[in-house]
Structure 1
Amino acid sequence: MANCENYRDRVNDDVDIDASFAETRRKTCPANESYGGMAPFDERTPMRFDNAYYKDLIARRGLLISDQALYGSGGRQDDLVEMYSRKGEMFAKDFAKAMVKMGNISPSEKTPVEVRLNCRMVNW
Structure 2
Amino acid sequence: MAGPAENVISAARRLIANLISTGETRLRLAVVEWEAERDRMLTLLLLAGAGLIVLSFAIGMLLLLVVVVYWEDNRLQAIGICSAVLFVIAGGLILAAKRVAKQRKLMAATLHHLERDRQALGPSHD
Q: TM-score, normalised by structure 2?
A: 0.20
Name the larger-Rg structure: 2
**Higher-helix-fraction structure:** 2
Q: TM-score, normalised by structure 1?
A: 0.20
RCO higher in structure (CA 8 A, sep ≥6): 2
